[in-house]
Amino acid sequence: MVRLWFVASTMTRSIASESPDRRATIVDLIGNTPLLRLARIAPDLPQGVTIYAKAEWYNPGGSVKDRPALWMIRDGERRGLLRPGMRIADATSGNTGIAYATLGAALGYPVTLALPANASPERRRILRSLGADLVLTEPLEGMDAAIRKIRELVAARPQLYFYPDQYNNPANPRAHEESTGPEIWAQTGGRVTHFVAALGTSGTFTGVGRFLRAQNPDVRLVAVQPDGPYHALEGVKHMASTALVPGIYDPRLADATLEITSEEAFAMARRLARAEGLMVGVSAAANVAAAVRVAREMRQGMVVTILCDGAAKYLSDRFWEDGDGRDGEGI
Amino acid sequence: MPVTVTIPTALRQYAGGHASITLPAGSAGQILATLREQYPQLGKQLYNDQGALRSFVNVYVGDEDIRHLQGVETPVADGETVSIIPAIAGGVLDGAR
């Protein structure tokens, strides 16, 4: 049933993309991503336990962040905070920046981004190629310095900038409450029993969690965290130690929180590539590592998680070459 | 003149809130080991259970990643700076390559 839906949705995508009347711009391609069954990474699971994952790199900007970026931009337009001639400005070294730059180009808004100076050269090239202006900040200070910098810029010329502030903007979780959550519910035929997602801004977890809970109060929501504040899980926050807890974060929503080490995520990224043919990013791999851990504790049910992005931006990372080829089998 | 070790914001909570710490000169590995002895909680973030530096920890001497020098054997002279750089933003200092 679910597989049939996936095949059908893929066909719909290709048919729709051939029509010049529909899906005319990349904005129309955001969302409706495939839901993939991950059957080979954990062949030891009981027969009634399955793991599915949303392939978010199918979004035009290449990640799940297209959804909140679009919702925040549209919300800003509706409320008159973003008008023609203004710039979109935010602090992000990662996928949200690429989403702003992609949508900014498509919708005609210039984009200014603050990011730590040690963001990878590939990433800076992607952002600059999309026309974004980059303000590089002190690497030792991490994202905190980038956030302070962009706030200074916006405060100095508030009429020029629209500052979506993804950590505190309710349109961020709403994107997932109105798109990702309903898609998961439809694609699983309402059979999802567990949702597993890492907390970054917490937008995905909060929005999808709220929607699924509203459909079925028994759905279990499992949050994923790094094992400490110094980690390699791009886009994921260690809520217990961060100085800047997102305003949209709802600590009461999660039934459980799992800690995944960066090493576990690296091993799962390699394993997903070799066992499933899926090249995904580090936070996606952390989500799958956590989903497998959850699934191993179950007798029956369907675990759904998020593959936040593909591996393209991480190919220069060293971890692909580590490991012994049996990675992640014991995770 | 001793060596200065700079601590990223995220780890300062495990280093008595200090942004930098001064330690005697030696190899990068010796300096980090001393740091770990003084601040065991900081050490837990940087080292794995086998006592090796975790693979994603970025340590620079001056502007150069120790992976491109002599790793933990890299000598650090008096007056030089050892920096622990956050892993997430990509790990390459702007202009370092």
B81 inside domain: yes
Give the single-character DSSP code of A235. Answer: T
State which residue of chain A sits closest to B12, comparing Cα positions.
A229
CATH number of the domain residue B15 falls in: 3.10.20.30
**Res A191: pLDDT:** 98
Q: Does A297 touch chain B (CB under 8 A)?
A: no
Per-residue pLDDT reduced to its tens digit, A171-211: 999 999 999 999 999 999 999 999 999 998 899 999 999 99
CB A153 within 8 Å of CB A89: yes
Nearest to A97 by CA among A65, A75, A119: A65
- Asked if the Cβ–Cβ distance from B46 to A144 is below 8 Å, we say no
What single-letter amino acid sits at B14? Y
- Write out the two tokens for A15: 């048919």
pTM of the model: 0.89
Beta bridge partners of B76: B26
Three-class DSSP category at A233: coil
Across the interface, whether the CB atoms of A232 and B56 are under 8 A apart is answered yes
Q: Report the catalytic residues of A.
A: 65, 283
In this model, does residue A253 exceed pLDDT 80? yes
Mean pLDDT on A144-163: 93
CB A316 within 8 A of CB A120: yes
- pLDDT number for residue A51: 98
Best mutation target among A98, A115, A118 (most B Cβ atoms within 10 Å) is A118
Determine whether B1 is exposed, middle or buried from the number of CB atoms within 10 Å of its CB (0-12, 13-18, 19+).
Answer: exposed
Residue-wise pLDDT for A27-59, tens only, equals: 999 999 999 999 999 999 999 999 999 999 999
Task: Mark out the alpha helices in A93-218 (DSSP H runs).
Answer: 95-107, 121-129, 142-156, 171-175, 181-187, 203-215
pLDDT value at residue A7: 42
State chain B's mean pLDDT as an integer.
88
| Secondary structure letter of residue A141 according to DSSP | G
pLDDT tens digits, B37-57: 999 999 999 999 999 999 999
Of A59-63, A105-109, A139-143, A274-278, the range with the lowest mean pLDDT is A139-143
Q: Does B4 touch chain A (CB under 8 A)?
A: no
Paired strand residues for A196: A222, A305
Among B residues 21-80, those touching chain A with beta carbons less than 8 Å apart: 44-46, 48, 54-57
Radius of gyration of chain B (CA): 12
CA distances from B16 to A169, B2, B44, B45 (A): 33, 19, 15, 15
pLDDT at A236: 86
* CA dihedral of A227, A230, A235, A238, whole degrees rounded to 10: 50
Number of domains chain B contains? 1
CATH architecture group of domain A66-162 = 3-Layer(aba) Sandwich (3.40)
If you classify domain A2-63+170-321 with CATH, what class do you get?
A: alpha beta
Higher pLDDT, A156 or A21: A156
| Structural domain for B41, as ranges | 3-85
pLDDT band at B91 (very low <50, low <70, confident <90, very high): very low
Nearby residues of A308 by Cβ (< 8 Å), 6 or more positions away:
A56, A63, A64, A65, A95, A198, A204, A235, A280, A281, A283, A284, A287
Question: Which of B20, B39, B60, B88 has the most A C-beta neighbours within 10 Å, making it the best mutation to test the interface with A?
Answer: B88
DSSP string, A50-116: EEEEEEGGGSTTSBTTHHHHHHHHHHHHHTTSS-TT-EEEEE-SSHHHHHHHHHHHHHT--EEEEEE
Instruction: Identify whether B68 is part of a domain.
Output: yes
Q: What ipTM does this complex have?
A: 0.85
Domain ranges, ordered by start, for chain A: 2-63+170-321, 66-162
> Per the structure block, which two tokens stand in for B79?
């007056």
Q: Smallest Cα–Cα separation from A107: which of A48, A162, A177, A166?
A: A162
Question: Does the residue B20 lie in any domain?
Answer: yes
